[in-house]
């Protein structure tokens, strides 16, 4: 049962073939069996999950009208607060912290009777592309345990690929949902900025951060997306407009007559051959289904990475000022005669890891007087140019596509000492965040060189998230015929043990 | 741009309230130089005529009605405090002895 899709599990629950308690227990057993090797979870809420499952079963038995995902287990990225459940953001700074409130995403999951299994590992405060920056040790890719599962949401994507959970929540500031999805053979969507509430999402870079759904199929991801989306008065940047018909689009999957724009700048040099092969095959499949493939140019995208690594650290240096050892989190060096400022200095030195400090210092520099215009100011102008590139491209195409990440999963430790090489992982995902539009990654197959999954990225204009699911569903079906089975069924090593 | 010195990093760490170890300052000074050189290319295309974008949405402040709504109790708000006293956060001294 744990290898089925969430929508198949939902059918089994509706038909009375199984119960949510049995389903939840099966996933808890799987976590107990494999998570010592995968390390997808930082915290497993056995008692809470079984209680939520029992409640869902009780409501079903009473004949209550239930949401499509009622009783289905889910893994929650540890950057999203859940009342009373440890939330660390992968940082020592928040070790032992139990938030006194629920994020809006958690409230919506509860209202839909989704069962939250626990909290997943991540790069500290979502800064990274490999989950190696977690203060609690790396997560391992279920396809090959010596490789990274992507990041920052590597725990969420690995939990799906290891069949520890059928659904997961991620957050995406520069690719932290899509790149992990790409390297684990799963599906992930960064919704339109403002499409899903950020209330209770621990902030990294507020103008870029966006929570979103992760799943093993396009339809499962759509069902989760619709569950968590919508306007929230508690988030002033939440869009007050109807949620697009996402699930309907995922069930439609018709690309006939649709214009699909291939971004010229997001391929070629720096991209692994096998990744490009799968990308080009996917384009052929979509053309075969009646889509019109056009090439578009986004000439300013080559500056996106540089602009991102000024904007995100600048916002991070401001956002992470809240960790001051006064109201919550750890406090270090508090002794008679030691000032508050000294306690702050000591706590932040001990509480933050290397990458977080690097970005705080970089952001402090970019915002400091004398450098502001040259760095942060210039990066904001590049952001305008990237938005204009997208606007122009969307006059020529309904959706845009690219490989999600330039390579398949690399070895743990391979890029740990080279920040620039690590940052290049996000070269194709970052422009989407800069413009606030939406993007999906879904598996396009296995790369020839290493038999590891490659990702296909679809991008659509703001509040046109339904287009992602329409195109994604069409491609998923076509790939299923080509490969004979879901790409994740080819998972070697650990995933095959299920 | 010119390299970033160890003293520059020490000053930034002070501004960011991080008590960095000497070895960390040395390491970061060399790393930041490399990163800044890489990101400085934003200046190539940031002309006078390009307006800045700080946010993907046209933002305006959102007000809610001035009504009492349910919020955290003092106990819940203090529940994760490193130290508290009564209904207050207890913090180390913030003023010098002479103040």
Query: Residues A115-150: pLDDT tens digits?
Result: 999 999 999 999 999 999 999 999 999 999 999 999
Nearest to A100 among B43, B53, B80 (CB): B80
Nearest to B93 among A339, A375, A419 (CB): A339
| Band of pLDDT at residue B59, cut at 50, 70 and 90 | confident
Average pLDDT over residues A380-392: 98
| Band of pLDDT at residue A493, cut at 50, 70 and 90 | low
Average pLDDT over residues B44-49: 94
Q: Report chain A's mean pLDDT, rounded to a whole number.
A: 96
CA distance A46 to chain B (A): 23
Contact B83 A331 (CB under 8 A): yes
- How high is the pLDDT of residue B2? 54
Contact A420 B45 (CB under 8 A): no
Examine residue A98 and state whether it is found in any structural domain, yes or no: yes
Instruction: Assess contact for A453 and A185: CB atoms under 8 A.
Output: yes
- How high is the pLDDT of residue A497? 53
Parallel, antiparallel or unpaired: strands A41-44 and A115-120: antiparallel
Q: What values do phi and psi take at A49, rounded to 5?
A: -65, -45
Asked if A119 is an interface residue toward chain B (Cβ–Cβ < 8 A), one would say no
Q: Which of A67, A152, A282, A402 is catalytic?
A: A152
Contact A361 B13 (CB under 8 A): yes
Tens-place pLDDT, residues A154-176: 999 999 999 999 999 999 999 99
Average pLDDT over residues A101-125: 98
Q: What residues in B contact A331, CB-CB < 8 Å?
A: 82-83
In which domain, by residue range, is A418 found? 6-301+383-497
Examine residue A349 and state whether it is found in any structural domain, yes or no: no
Q: Select the residue from B56, B59, B72, B75 to test the A interface by mutation, using most A Cβ atoms within 10 A.
A: B56
Q: Select the residue from B35, B69, B73, B76 to test the A interface by mutation, using most A Cβ atoms within 10 A.
A: B35
CA distance B57 to chain A (A): 8
Selected residues 391-410 of chain A with any CB under 8 Å from a CB in chain B: none
CA distance B26 to chain A (A): 12
CA distance A400 to chain B (A): 18
CA distance A134 to chain B (A): 19
Examine residue A359 and state whether it is found in any structural domain, yes or no: no
Tens-place pLDDT, residues A235-278: 999 999 999 999 999 999 999 999 999 999 999 889 999 999 99
Contact A237 B81 (CB under 8 A): no
Average pLDDT over residues A187-215: 98
Q: What values do phi and psi take at A262, rounded to 5?
A: -90, 120
| Band of pLDDT at residue B58, cut at 50, 70 and 90 | confident
Q: Select the residue from B31, B46, B84 to test the A interface by mutation, using most A Cβ atoms within 10 A.
A: B46
Q: What residue segments make up the domains of chain B, in order of their start?
A: 6-43
Q: Is the pLDDT of residue A195 over 60?
A: yes
Indicate the length of chain B as a whole number: 99
Asked if A330 is an interface residue toward chain B (Cβ–Cβ < 8 A), one would say yes
CA distance A69 to chain B (A): 29
Q: What residues in B contact A310, CB-CB < 8 Å?
A: 39, 42
- How high is the pLDDT of residue B99? 45
Q: Which of A5, A7, A20, A77 is catalytic?
A: A77
Q: Is the pLDDT of residue B1 over 50?
A: no
Quote the tokens at residue A372: 């502001």
Q: What is the CATH number of the domain that holds A162?
A: 3.90.1300.10
Is A176 one of the annotated active-site residues of the chain? Answer: yes
Residue in chain A nearest B43 by alpha carbon: A378
Is A152 one of the annotated active-site residues of the chain? Answer: yes
Nearest to B9 among A306, A324, A361 (CB): A361
CA nearest to A163, candidates A273, A389, A9? A9
Contact A303 B55 (CB under 8 A): no
Contact A357 B24 (CB under 8 A): yes
| SS3 state of residue B77 | helix
Q: 3-class secondary structure for chain A?
A: CCCCCHHHHHHHHHCCCCCHHHHHHHHHHHHHHHHHHHCCEEEECHHHHHHHHHHHHHHHHCCCCCCCCCCCEEEEECCECCCCCCCCCCCHHHCCCCCCCCCHHHHHHHHCCCEEEEEECCCHHHCCCCCCCCCCCCCCECCECCECCCCCCHHHHHHHHCCCCCEEEEECCCCCCHHHHHHHCCEEEECCCCCECCCCECCCCCCCCCEEEEECCHHHHHHHHHHHECCCCCCCCCCCCCCCCHHHHHHHCCCCCCEEEEECCCCCCCCCHHHHHHHHHHHHHHHHCCCEEEEECCHHHHHHHHHHHHHHHHHHHHHHHHCCCCCCCCCCCCCCCCEHHHHHHHHHHHHCCHHHHHHHHHHHHHHCCCCCHHHHHHHHHHHHHHHHHHHHHHHHCCEEEEECCCCCCCECCCCCCCHHHHHHHHCCCHHHHHHCCEEEEEEEEECCCCCCEEEEEEEECCCCHHHHHHHHHHHHHHHHHHHCCCHHHHCCHHHHHC
Straight-line distance from the first to the last Cα atom of chain B, in angstroms, rounded to the nearest whole number: 43
| Band of pLDDT at residue A307, cut at 50, 70 and 90 | very high
Q: What residues in B contact A377, CB-CB < 8 Å?
A: 46, 52
Average pLDDT over residues B67-71: 91
- How high is the pLDDT of residue A416? 86
Nearest to A236 among B45, B62, B79 (CB): B62
Tally of domains in chain A:
1
Examine residue A58 and state whether it is found in any structural domain, yes or no: yes
Contact B41 A303 (CB under 8 A): yes
Asked if A153 is an interface residue toward chain B (Cβ–Cβ < 8 A), one would say no
């Amino acid at each position: 049962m744990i290898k089925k899709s969430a929508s198949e599990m939902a059918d089994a629950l509706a038909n009375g073939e199984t119960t949510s308690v049995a389903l939840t227990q099966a996933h808890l057993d799987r976590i107990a069996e494999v998570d010592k090797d995968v390390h997808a979870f930082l915290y497993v809420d056995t008692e809470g999950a079984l209680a939520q499952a029992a409640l869902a079963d009780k409501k079903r038995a009473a004949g209550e009208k239930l949401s499509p995902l009622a009783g289905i287990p889910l893994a929650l990225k540890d950057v999203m607060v859940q009342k009373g459940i440890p939330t660390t953001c992968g940082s020592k700074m928040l070790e032992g912290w139990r938030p006194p409130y629920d994020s809006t995403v958690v409230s919506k999951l509860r209202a839909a009777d989704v069962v939250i299994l626990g909290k997943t590992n991540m790069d500290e405060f979502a800064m990274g592309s490999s989950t190696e920056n977690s203060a609690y040790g790396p997560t391992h890719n279920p396809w090959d345990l010596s490789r990274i599962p992507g990041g920052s949401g590597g725990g969420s994507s690995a939990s799906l690929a290891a069949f520890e959970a059928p659904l997961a929540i991620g957050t995406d500031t520069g690719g932290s949902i899509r790149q992990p999805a790409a390297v684990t053979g799963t599906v992930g969507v960064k919704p339109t900025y403002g499409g899903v509430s950020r209330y209770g999402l621990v902030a990294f870079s507020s103008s870029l951060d966006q929570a979103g759904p992760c799943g093993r199929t396009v339809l499962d991801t759509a069902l989760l997306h619709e569950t968590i989306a919508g306007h929230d008065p508690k988030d002033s940047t939440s869009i007050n407009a109807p949620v697009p018909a996402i699930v309907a689009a995922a069930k439609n999957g018709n690309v006939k007559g649709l214009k699909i724009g291939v971004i010229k700048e997001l391929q070629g040099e720096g991209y692994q051959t096998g990744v490009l092969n799968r990308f080009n095959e996917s384009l052929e499949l979509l053309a075969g289904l009646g889509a019109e493939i056009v090439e578009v140019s986004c000439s300013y995208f080559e500056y996106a990475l540089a602009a991102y690594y000024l904007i995100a650290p600048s916002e991070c240096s401001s956002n992470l000022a809240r960790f001051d050892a006064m109201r919550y989190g750890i406090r270090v060096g508090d002794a008679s005669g030691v000032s508050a400022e000294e306690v702050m200095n000591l706590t932040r030195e001990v509480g933050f890891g290397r990458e977080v400090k690097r970005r705080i210092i970089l952001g402090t520099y970019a915002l400091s007087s004398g450098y502001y215009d040259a760095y942060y100011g210039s990066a904001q102008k590049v952001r305008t140019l990237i938005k204009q590139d997208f606007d122009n491209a969307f006059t020529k195409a309904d959706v845009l596509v690219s490989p999600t990440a330039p390579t398949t999963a690399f070895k743990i430790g391979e890029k740990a000492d080279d920040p620039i090489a690590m940052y290049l992982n996000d070269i194709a995902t970052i422009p989407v965040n800069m413009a606030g539009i939406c993007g999906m990654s879904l598996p396009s197959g296995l790369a020839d060189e290493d038999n590891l999954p490659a990702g296909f990225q679809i991008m659509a204009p703001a509040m046109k998230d339904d287009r992602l699911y329409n195109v994604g569903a069409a491609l998923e079906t076509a790939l299923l015929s080509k490969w004979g089975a879901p790409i994740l069924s080819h998972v070697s090593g650990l995933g095959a043990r299920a | 741009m010119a390299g970033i010195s160890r003293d520059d990093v020490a000053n930034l760490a002070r501004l960011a309230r991080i008590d960095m170890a000497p070895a960390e300052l040395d390491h970061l000074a060399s790393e930041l130089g490399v990163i800044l050189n890489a990101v400085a290319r934003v200046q190539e295309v940031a002309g006078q005529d390009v307006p800045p974008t700080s946010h993907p949405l046209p933002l305006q402040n959102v007000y809610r009605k001035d009504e009492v709504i349910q919020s955290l109790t003092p106990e819940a708000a203090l529940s994760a405090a490193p130290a508290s006293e009564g209904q207050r956060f207890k913090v180390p001294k913030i003023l010098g002895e002479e103040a």
